[in-house]
Amino acid sequence: MATEFSFPDPAAKAAIAEYESEKLSLSMGPSHPSTHGVLRLQLELDGEVVTKCEPIIGYLHRGDEKIAENMTYNQFVPYTDRLDYIAPLANNMAYAIAVEKLAKLEVPARCQAIRVLTAEMARLSSHLLGLGAFGIDTGAWTVFMYTFNEREKLYRLFEELTGARFTTSYSRIGGLARDVPEGWTGRVSAFCDQFLPILEEILALLTRNKIFMDRTVGIGVISKEDAIAYGLTGPNLRGSGLGLDLRKDCPYSGYQQYEFDVPVGTTGDSYDRYLVRGEEMRQSVRIIHQVIATFPGGPWYATEARKIFAPPKDKILTSMEELIQNFMLVTEGPQMPAGEVYFEAENPKGVLGFYVVSKGGGVPWRLKIRAPSFCNLSILPKLCVGTMVSDVVAILGSLDFVMGECDR
């Protein structure tokens, strides 16, 4: 117990009291390991307690929406990789479906199945990174080692499918860059079989871990009302107990054929968001197994959409009509009707939406990207006030955002 120090000079006492009530301003980021990229939090601290939190974003702003207005629809596919760069395959799919919706184009069942398969693999990859990074944020380094081992196996499968580990650019308007390689689905299946026991091992490292629970249970509680008011989506919304999942609510790309559960949390704290992500990975594996079991044959791109999807390469080099078709597609872009559509997909980080305004032709007039991380971070000024600085780290880890998408 501290004893009261008697000041010989009352002015000194007043000066110290003023010093003690002074708020400390702390700039956390933009390059801080727990801010996962280039997020900067301008914190105002009273001792260890956060009294004000102001997120400063935009360090990774590249003007993707401006760029989109100046190029044809297919040329923009590589830019979608760089939104949520942890799950590029899911972004590719969301963008392609949005533009196909504008063209009123239905892609064949095989294309849909491949897209679902790759999107769920992207979800595994994203949640594995989210969990690993969350582990590091809360002092559990081992989890990261396990999850990155599994992500490496996923990256090998991505590389075999798309030619790239990271920036996949796999979707095209009206189809895909290429069909799946021979025997690839078997290797995905084998990956999933060995992955499930490892996933249980990874989750066992955290779920009943005393330190992890102390750091996350009851920390960063988001109520249902707040989650809706701030436009939270994905596991952050479901952690608060709202079972909203676009794959169930507004099924796209044939998600209605597959059986899976939508896990929800109960209290909406950081721990619940972790539990939701863990369970979503089990469900993703379930979906992947179903897709592979019912993998459709037939064409893997919209064969009748001659003004939208490029013809096969061997035909371009041998047949006049296909050569002209390819030339028109490259120079003018896929031809779209005038009008506007909004499509959003359930991505690993939340709902990724594309609002496309077209005046006709091969270039969008306006393309707005509704980024889930942007909306998810907007709750921080409310969520962080009253918590300790160390809790801010846990909250950031539990929100699982990516700045490439937030800043666009």
Partner 1 sequence: MSASLLTALQEKFPQARPRPSLDHAAVNVPADTILAVLQELRDAHGYDFLVDLTAIDWAEGATPRFTVVYHLRSTTHHGYVRVAADCPNAAEPAMPSACGLWAGANWHERETYDMFGIAFTGHPDLRRILMWDGYPYFPLRKEFPLAGIETPLPDAEIGAETGAAAIPAPMAGGPFVAAPGEINLTEAEPRAKDESWNEARAKPTP
Cβ closer to partner 1: 102 or 180? Answer: 102
Cβ closer to partner 1: 184 or 365? Answer: 365
Cβ closer to partner 1: 311 or 350? Answer: 350
Q: How far is the CB of 197 from partner 1 (least distance, A)?
A: 36
Q: How far is the CB of 100 from partner 1 (least distance, A)?
A: 11
Cβ closer to partner 1: 155 or 365? Answer: 365
How many whole angstroms separate alpha carbon 59 and alpha carbon 33?
15
Helices (H), strands (E): how many in the chain? Answer: 18, 8
Cβ closer to partner 1: 139 or 386? Answer: 386
How many whole angstroms separate alpha carbon 286 and alpha carbon 262?
12
Cβ closer to partner 1: 188 or 377? Answer: 377
Structure token pair of residue 371: 């980024």
Q: How far is the CB of 70 from partner 1 (least distance, A)?
A: 4
Residue 17 CB burial class (10 angstroms; 0-12, 13-18, ≥19): exposed
Q: Which amino acid is at 64?
A: D
369 secondary structure, DSSP code: E
Enumerate binding residues for partner 1 (CB under 8 A): 57-58, 61, 63, 65-67, 69-72, 75, 101-102, 104, 226, 228-232, 242, 244, 249-250, 331-333, 337, 339-344, 351, 353, 355, 357-366, 368, 370, 374-375, 377-379, 382, 407-408
Residue 173 CB burial class (10 angstroms; 0-12, 13-18, ≥19): buried
Place of tokens 């990229």: 37
Cβ closer to partner 1: 7 or 342? Answer: 342
Q: How far is the CB of 228 from partner 1 (least distance, A)?
A: 6
Instruction: Name the nearest CA neighbour of 373 among 347, 354, 337, 335.
Output: 347
How many whole angstroms separate alpha carbon 375 and alpha carbon 353?
12
388 secondary structure, DSSP code: B
Q: How far is the CB of 89 from partner 1 (least distance, A)?
A: 22
Q: How far is the CB of 135 from partner 1 (least distance, A)?
A: 29
What is the distance in angstroms between the CA of the first residue and the CA of the last residue of the chain? Answer: 53
Q: How far is the CB of 244 from partner 1 (least distance, A)?
A: 6
